[in-house]
Amino acid sequence: MSRQQFTLDEQQFTLDEQQLTALKDLPADDHGNETLPRPSLGHNQYQHKDHAGASPVKSHIKHTTDSENGGKLTLWRVWHRIHRVLILVCAFLYITKCIQATSETFDLLVGKTLLQPQSPPFTQPNLAKAIGTTTLRESLLVKTMLQDDTTPRNNTLFLTATGYSFTQCPALSPIIERIYNDAFMRSLYTALVSQVSYELTFLDSNEIELVLPVVDCSSPLMKLAYGTVGSFFFVVRNRDGDHVSMLSVLLSNQDYKILSQTGGGPAAVATLTFISNFRASDDVPVDHHFVISLGYPFEQFNFRAASYLSTTDDGSWQLRMIPATDRKEVYKVVETASHAGFYIKAATEQSNINSYIWGLPSNPIDAITTWRLSTKARLRNSWAWVHLLQLLLVIALLSNLFILLLISARRLAQRKLWIGDAFVTVYDTLHLRVVLTLISWYMDEFWTVHEFCLSDASTLIGLEEITIFPHVLEADLRSIYVSLCGVLGILFRERVDPVLGLVTFEFGFAYRHGILKLFPSLISKVQAHAYNQYMSGLATGNKYQQLVSPMYFWTARRLGSRSLSFVVTMLFPVFTGLLVVIAWIMARKIYRHFYPDLIHVQHSRLGTGTPSVSGNEETLLALERKLTVFELATGAELRRRFGFLSDYENCKFIKGVKHASADGIYGNGFVIANGKFLMQTEDFWAILIMKVLHVRYQNIYVYELEGTTVKQTARLVYPQTLTWTDLFSLGITRLS
C-alpha cells in the first residue's frame, strides 16, 4: 500500500491513505466557521505504539454540531458541573480537617489542658433524709435512729432506703466491706483527732468525743466499688454538754509532688467539714479543712493539716503543709490530685493523664451529702511536630485550589462555567503520603495511634472515657485512605471519584464503633486488651500492704507492650469503605464492557440526516488510540491517567482532528498561560518566585502554543519569559 509520509520532532510517523481519506470524508463547515483553528494534518495524526499489555479500547461514536456543543445545556452537563462543585466542597472540607489537625498538633506540643464536662454529682439521699434541714440535734438521725440518746456506742449506723440498721450494708464487694468496716473507720477518726488537732482545734479530744460512725448504703462510691476514695461520717458530741455535730471526711488516695524537691508519691488527702446546723446561709459558708498523709496507703496514717493555696492549670490542688507543733518540721508546698491515664516513657513527654479533684460546696447539706468531681485532661506529645505533615498537605492543596479558582474566575468572566478537579495535586503524591504518614507514626513511637485506639476501646466497652485530640489521627487516616483509593485505581486502571472516596471514609470513620460491634469475637479481644491496660493503673503492694490499709492506690500507668493486632482491629472499620470503592470499580468495568465510552466527534454543521461516516468508524477507533501532539510533547497520555481523580473525557474529534480535552489537560497537571504557553500547574509558584526575585534559580520548562497546537520543543523559562499578565491569565482549552 502506498503511504504519505511526514516528519515530526525528528521521529518518523506515517498515515495510510485510507485514514487520510476517512478524515477528509468527515463533514466540514462550508462557510469555514470553525469552533477551533484546524491544525495541519501532520501535527495530529501519526502512528503510536500502545504501552505493553494495554487492552484495546472499545468505543461508540457520538456526533454533535458546534451549536449542540456550545450552547445547549444538557442533563449530563448539569450533573458534570454539580459533581465538580461537590468535589470542590470536599476539598475545602478536607482542608478544614487538616487545619483542625494542625491546630491540635500545636496544642499537643505545648501540653494543653482540657476541662472535661462536669460529671453528675455523687449524692447520698439516705443521709440527706436522716440529717434534715435544721440542726443535727433535731434531726431524724438523732431523734429517731439514736432514740435521742447521744451516748458513745461501739457500733456503726448503716442507713438504707428502707430504714436503718447496725449491721453491714448488703451486697457489697469485699474491698468495700473492709473500707466501711467499723474498726477501720474508728482508726481513721482516732488518727485525725490525735494528729491534726494541733491546727484543727474542733478535733481536740478534750472537747469532743465520738458517738458512732454513720454509713449511707446508697452511696455511689460503695456501689461502684471505689477503693481509692472513701466518704466517712462521724456523729460527735461535746464532752461538757449535749451539743451534737457531724464530722464529714472525704478521703482520696492520690499522687503528690513537693515543689521545692524532686520527691513525690502516694498520699491520702482529705477534706473535713464540721457542721451542727444544716440551715443554709449565704453569710456563713461552710469551712473545708485540708489534711494530708504522705505515703499512705503504703504507710500508716501520718496526717498533717494543710492550707489551700490555689488550683493549678492542670487541675491539681496546691497545698501548704503545716508542721506539727511538737516536731521539728518545715513548711512544704505540695501539688496533689488523683491521676488516671497512661504514658510511654515519661509523663512529661508523651502522656494522656486525667487529674481529679472535687468541689467544695458552701451549702452545709451539699457539703455533707454531695461529691462532685472536677476533671482536667493534660495531653502531651513532645513528638507531635511530626504530624505537621498535614500542614504541608494543606499548603499543597490550597495552592492548587488557588490556581483552579483563578482559572474558573477567568472562564466565568468570559461567560463560561468551568470547574476542574480539585484533587489533581493528590495524584502526584499518593505513595509519598502513605510513606510520610507511616514514618511520622514510627517517629512518634505509634503513640498517637495507640492513644486513639485505647480511647475508642474504652468508649466501646464502657470504661472511663479517655480524652484525645481526634483530628490528628483522623487526618492521618484520611491521607492513607485517599492514597489507598489511588492505588486501587492504578491497579485496576480506573479513576476513583474523590467524592466517593471521601464519603466512604467519613462514613467508616463516623460509624467505626457500630461496624466493629458486628463482630463479637473482635469485641471480646478488644475488651480484654483495654481492660488489662486500664487495670494496670492499680498500684499493687505486697501482702503486708493490706495490713496497713484496706484502700488501694491508683495512678497513671506506663504503657507496656503495644499490640499490633489490637491496633489493626480498632482501625479496620475505618477502611471498610474500600470495599465499596472496589465494588464501584468493578461495576464501572462491567458497565463499560457492555456500554463502551463514546468517541465524541464534533462537526461544524450536521445535515438533516446522520453523517455518512459509518464506513469510517473503524478508522476513528484506530485513531483514538493514537496520541495527540499535546500528549507526545508532554508525555502525558490522557487515557492512561488512573488513580484518585474524577473522570474526564479523554479526547474529542473536531473535523477529523483529535483534540485533548480541557478536563484531561488540567487533570494531567497542565494549564495555559494567556493562550501562549502550556505549563505544569506545579510550576506556577516557582515561576512566580522567579519573577519576584529576578533570578532563574531552577530549570523550568514551558511549551509554546500555535493556536491549539503544542510546539514539540520545550522552552526554558527565564524571569522575563512570561509577563505578569501571562502568569495570572490562566486558562484551559482543548489542544491538538
Same domain membership, residue 345 and residue 243: yes
Confidence of residue 49 (pLDDT cuts 50, 70, 90): very low
Confidence of residue 10 (pLDDT cuts 50, 70, 90): very low
Nearest to 471 by CA among 736, 108, 194: 108
pLDDT (average), residues 293-297: 94
The pLDDT, as a whole number, for residue 42 is: 36
Same domain membership, residue 168 and residue 136: yes
Nearest to 255 by CA among 226, 290, 297, 225: 297
pLDDT (average), residues 492-504: 93
Name the residue range of residue 360's domain.
122-371
pLDDT tens, residue by residue, 664-702: 888 888 999 998 999 999 899 999 999 999 999 999 999
Nearest to 404 by CA among 148, 12, 31, 92: 92
Q: Contact, 193 vs 305, CB < 8 A? A: no
Residues 6+ apart with CB under 8 A from 576: 508, 515
Q: Is residue 11 part of a domain?
A: yes
Please work out, in degrees rounded to the nearest 5, the angle formed at the alpha carbon of residue 414 by the alpha carbons of 408 and 420.
Answer: 20
Phi, psi of 258 (to 5 degrees): -90, 125
Among 328, 343, 371, which residue terminates a domain?
Answer: 371
Q: Give the number of residues written for the chain.
A: 736
- pLDDT averaged over the chain? 83
Beta strands in 77-121 (DSSP E): 113-115
Same domain membership, residue 277 and residue 214: yes
Nearest to 665 by CA among 734, 726, 712: 734
Q: Contact, 126 vs 218, CB < 8 A? A: yes
The pLDDT, as a whole number, for residue 325 is: 77
Q: Is residue 164 part of a domain?
A: yes
Same domain membership, residue 242 and residue 179: yes
Same domain membership, residue 677 and residue 714: yes
Please work out, in degrees rounded to the nearest 5, the angle formed at the alpha carbon of residue 322 by the alpha carbons of 309 and 377.
Answer: 40
Beta bridge partners of 680: 670
Same domain membership, residue 192 and residue 330: yes
Same domain membership, residue 210 and residue 350: yes
Confidence of residue 599 (pLDDT cuts 50, 70, 90): low
Instruction: Print the SS3 string covering 228-266.
Output: CEEEEEEEEEECCCCCEEEEEEEEEEEEEEECCCCCEEE
Same domain membership, residue 278 and residue 170: yes
Nearest to 305 by CA among 226, 149, 198: 198
The pLDDT, as a whole number, for residue 623 is: 59
Q: Is residue 377 part of a domain?
A: no
Residue 31 has pLDDT above 70, yes or no: no
Sheet holding 651-654, edge to edge: 59-65, 597-603, 651-654, 657-660
The pLDDT, as a whole number, for residue 577 is: 95
Q: Is residue 75 part of a domain?
A: no
Lowest mean pLDDT among 303-317, 567-581, 664-678: 664-678
Same domain membership, residue 206 and residue 138: yes
The pLDDT, as a whole number, for residue 559 is: 87
Confidence of residue 282 (pLDDT cuts 50, 70, 90): low
In the block, residue with C-alpha cell 477507533 = 621
User: How many Å apart are CA 190 and CA 213, to the nearest integer?
Assistant: 12
Burial class from Cβ neighbours inside 10 Å (0-12, 13-18, 19+) for residue 501 reads buried
User: How many Å apart are CA 277 and CA 271, to the nearest integer?
Assistant: 19
User: What is the helix (H) or strand (E) element at residue 307, kind and residue range?
Assistant: strand 304-311
The pLDDT, as a whole number, for residue 732 is: 87
User: How many Å apart are CA 705 and CA 44, to the nearest integer?
Assistant: 14
Residue 47 has pLDDT above 50, yes or no: no
Lowest mean pLDDT among 110-114, 296-300, 420-424, 613-617: 613-617
Q: Is residue 542 part of a domain?
A: no
Confidence of residue 416 (pLDDT cuts 50, 70, 90): confident
Predicted structure pTM score: 0.82
Same domain membership, residue 202 and residue 152: yes
Q: Is residue 64 part of a domain?
A: no
pLDDT (average), residues 450-467: 91
Total domains present in the chain: 3
Q: Classify 597 as helix, strand or coil.
A: strand
Same domain membership, residue 339 and residue 305: yes
Among 371, 399, 429, which residue terminates a domain?
Answer: 371
Same domain membership, residue 567 and residue 528: yes
Q: Is residue 238 part of a domain?
A: yes
The pLDDT, as a whole number, for residue 45 is: 36
pLDDT (average), residues 27-45: 37
C-alpha cell at 682: 506545579
pLDDT (average), residues 417-432: 79
Q: Contact, 370 vs 690, CB < 8 A? A: no
Q: Is residue 456 part of a domain?
A: yes
pLDDT (average), residues 403-425: 85
pLDDT, greater one: 605 or 588: 588
**238-252, 291-305, 627-641: which has the highest mean pLDDT?**
291-305
pLDDT (average), residues 106-134: 88
pLDDT (average), residues 570-574: 95
